[in-house]
């Protein structure tokens, strides 16, 4: 891939080079990132922008003895290439290949499993504390972007690290971007540092005080002395990085993150400093590739593209994505209801809210990478009569679990959660699978949970959720819908009402969301075997359509539940609990869903095959029940 890079299998090899050769290493790493992500997809922009920083860190620090902790991990592709994974980098995010994020199972150089924002500083402080308690001596460095710095956990980590006064370094990789442009007061603060506004503000304060003192009669030399003290105070108070200094950190910067001649000496000096240090490194997201420099949002997370032209591989016409159907439906409803508002936690693009924000700029709020704040912010809106919709990935909503329980469900307020990317999400891997939302929400009082079988049902659920006078979660998968015809007029669904989409007497397939389509395929396969399978589109996990489930149990005596969520505590568990509570006996139930392990990255079809969620797996489960050999059956008649 490159003349120098081909000789680097570890940071020790990197250290053998002269400093004058490092820019070429940087260039070769960037070329490799472009070439590989153009074939596999991945997070291009952040890693491109952090390449010099990653090279400098591995050149100077004694990794893996010294700990480098990446926040989120979007910027860590260069780190992977330099730490023994260059020869496998082409397998990035592929089934059986290397992960898209740092993973301790993959390399001793990955100090922490990451992929959610805001965790690096807390982990770094923990490692530094353990080091000191055990009398050891090594460096601990957290590399965090300014987008992650909006996360409450990052601020908690800064606060505690400054108080504990451990030897720990935080490198703030400031590119003014998360996925899209950053929002909030911290973003504005960093921008003022960069524009020199601090010095301008100091001069203005000094001039105003000087003007005031000239109006005080007969002060003389006292005025001069007082002016000097005021000017010193102003300089001490209004200086770059003062916020971090007040939190207990020594602030160093800002430093141009694309100039190794500045980065290397700065980091060498920092390595000698004791206590908490914060190095403010300024980079450009997508740096080194004209297309990603020009459009950093588009090239944050890429699908396959032509590296020469930057053009993405065109997909043929197809159904709209579920996320777009949801936000289009919400926009349609919002035109007639001024109380509907949308909330995003730094994911406007990912949750398809960009067009909604353009149409309703005063009713769409990007609160930053702050899921906890987003949820309780929604509660405040709801308590004052608004109809908030929090569009948050299933895996990210986990971060706000206390707020869901304490602020939403206990208060019983009408907050709608649009749980995008529920179920298997493909190559983002175990940190992003929407595997747990049914299990973690089903146990909460007052919560309604629904999932559509197709995009038309999703638009109906959108209206149903927004109009419901309590908390609702609408879970829908990543990717495109089924291509069904959409109703012009949106009609709500009765809460808790399932849909029997196919009659059958031999076995009943109870399916949720996208599993309904797979179950219909399975029913057709069973038809060929002369087995009549009923298919129930459950729609609602909570409340269940108890009467339809009980009727199928009594008629068919054999149930297969199918969900793209964990089996433990999931929809199938809810069905078994219902039958037990109703005293329905002699019914064999097989629960198909995600197993009790984390699901690795790879294509969704391969993931479903791995988890036993293909139409063939459903067909086999039904046959095993009928033939009395259901090894995985949960039965009220004694099957294990």
Task: Decide if 399 is catalytic.
Answer: yes
Q: Say if CB 532 and CB 550 are below 8 A apart.
A: no
Q: Say if CB 422 and CB 513 are below 8 A apart.
A: yes
Q: Say if CB 452 and CB 509 are below 8 A apart.
A: no
Q: Say if CB 153 and CB 125 are below 8 A apart.
A: no
Q: Say if CB 431 and CB 394 are below 8 A apart.
A: no
Q: Which of 399, 421, 558, 608 is catalytic?
A: 399
Antiparallel, parallel or unpaired: β 533-537 and 140-145: unpaired
d(CA 562, CA 570): 10
Task: Decide if 294 is catalytic.
Answer: no
Q: Which of 86, 93, 166, 285 is catalytic?
A: 285
Q: Which of 28, 30, 93, 371 is catalytic?
A: 371
Could you tell me which residues come within 8 angstroms of residue 247 by beta carbon, excluding any fewer than 6 positions away?
A: 158, 159, 162
Task: Decide if 285 is catalytic.
Answer: yes
Q: Say if CB 141 and CB 68 are below 8 A apart.
A: yes
Q: How far is CA 32 from the centre of its chain?
A: 25
Q: Which helix (H) or strand (E) holds 127?
A: helix 120-133
| Structure token digits, residue 205 | 């304060």
Decide: helix, strand or coil at residue 36.
helix
- φ, ψ for residue 69, nearest 5 deg: -115, 110
Q: How far is CA 588 from CA 221, 512, 532, 552, in A?
A: 96, 19, 16, 12
Q: How far is CA 558 from CA 255, 479, 572, 635, 638, in A?
A: 66, 32, 13, 9, 13
Antiparallel, parallel or unpaired: β 140-145 and 42-43: unpaired
Half-sphere exposure of 3 (CA within 13 A, CB side): 6
| Structure token digits, residue 223 | 């005025």
Q: How far is CA 380 from CA 441, 446, 593, in A?
A: 21, 18, 36
Q: How many CB atoms lie within 10 A of CB 269?
A: 12
Q: What residues are annotated to the active site?
A: 285, 371, 399
């Amino acid at each position: 891939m490159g003349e120098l890079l081909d000789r680097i299998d570890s940071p020790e090899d990197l250290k053998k080079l002269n400093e004058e050769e490092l820019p070429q290493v940087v260039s070769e790493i960037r070329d490799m990132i472009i070439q590989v992500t153009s074939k596999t997809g991945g997070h291009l922009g952040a890693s491109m922008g952090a390449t010099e920083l990653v090279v400098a860190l591995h050149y100077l620090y004694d990794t893996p003895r010294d700990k480098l902790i990446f926040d989120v991990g979007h910027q860590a592709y260069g780190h992977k290439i330099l730490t023994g994974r260059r020869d496998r980098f082409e397998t990035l995010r592929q089934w059986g290949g290397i992960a898209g994020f740092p993973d301790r199972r993959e390399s001793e150089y990955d100090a922490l499993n990451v992929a959610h924002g805001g965790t690096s500083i807390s982990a770094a402080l923990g490692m530094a504390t353990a080091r000191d308690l055990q009398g050891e001596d090594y460096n601990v460095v957290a590399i965090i972007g300014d987008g992650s710095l909006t996360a409450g956990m990052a601020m908690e980590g800064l606060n505690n690290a400054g108080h504990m006064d451990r030897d720990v370094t935080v490198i703030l990789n400031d590119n003014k971007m998360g996925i899209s442009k950053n929002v909030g007061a911290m973003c504005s603060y960093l921008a003022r540092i960069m524009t020199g506004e601090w010095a301008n503000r100091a001069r203005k304060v000094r001039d105003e005080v000087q003007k005031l003192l000239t109006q005080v009669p007969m002060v003389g030399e006292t005025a001069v002395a007082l002016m000097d003290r005021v000017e010193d105070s102003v300089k001490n108070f209004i200086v770059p990085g003062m916020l971090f200094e007040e939190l207990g950190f020594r602030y160093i910067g800002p430093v141009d993150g694309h100039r190794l001649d500045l980065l290397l000496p700065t980091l060498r000096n920092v390595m000698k400093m004791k206590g908490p240090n914060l190095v403010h490194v300024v980079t450009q997201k997508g740096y080194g590739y004209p297309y990603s420099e020009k459009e950093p949002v588009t090239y944050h997370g890429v699908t396959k593209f032509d590296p020469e032209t930057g053009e993405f591989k065109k997909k043929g016409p197809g159904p709209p994505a579920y996320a777009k159907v949801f936000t289009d439906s919400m926009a349609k409803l919002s035109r007639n209801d001024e109380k509907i508002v949308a909330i995003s936690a730094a994911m406007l693009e990912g949750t398809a809210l960009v067009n909604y924000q353009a149409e309703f700029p005063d009713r769409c709020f990007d609160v930053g990478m702050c899921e906890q704040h987003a949820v309780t912010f929604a509660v405040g809106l709801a308590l004052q009569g608004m109809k908030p919709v929090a569009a948050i990935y299933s895996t990210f909503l986990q971060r706000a679990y206390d707020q869901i329980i304490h602020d939403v469900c206990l208060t019983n307020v009408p907050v709608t959660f649009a749980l995008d990317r529920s179920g298997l999400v493909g190559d983002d891997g175990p940190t992003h699978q929407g595997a747990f939302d049914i299990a973690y929400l089903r146990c909460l009082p007052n919560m309604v949970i629904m999932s559509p079988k197709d995009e038309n049902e999703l638009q109906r659920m959108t209206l149903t959720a927004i109009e419901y006078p309590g908390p609702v979660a609408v879970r829908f998968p990543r990717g495109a819908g089924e291509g069904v015809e959409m109703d012009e007029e949106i009609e709500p669904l009765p809460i808790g009402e399932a849909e029997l989409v196919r009659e059958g007497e031999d076995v009943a397939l109870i399916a949720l969301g996208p599993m309904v389509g797979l179950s219909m395929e399975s029913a057709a396969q069973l038809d060929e075997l002369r087995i009549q399978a009923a298919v129930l589109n459950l729609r609602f996990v909570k409340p269940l359509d108890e009467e339809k489930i009980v009727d199928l149990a009594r008629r068919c005596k054999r149930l297969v539940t199918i969900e793209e969520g964990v089996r433990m505590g999931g929809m199938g568990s809810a069905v078994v609990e219902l039958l037990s509570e109703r005293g329905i006996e002699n019914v064999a139930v097989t629960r198909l869903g995600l197993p009790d392990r984390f699901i690795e990255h790879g294509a969704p079809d391969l993931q479903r095959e791995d988890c036993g969620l293909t139409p063939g797996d459903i067909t086999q489960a039904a046959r095993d029940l009928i033939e009395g050999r259901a090894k995985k059956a949960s039965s009220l008649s004694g099957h294990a």
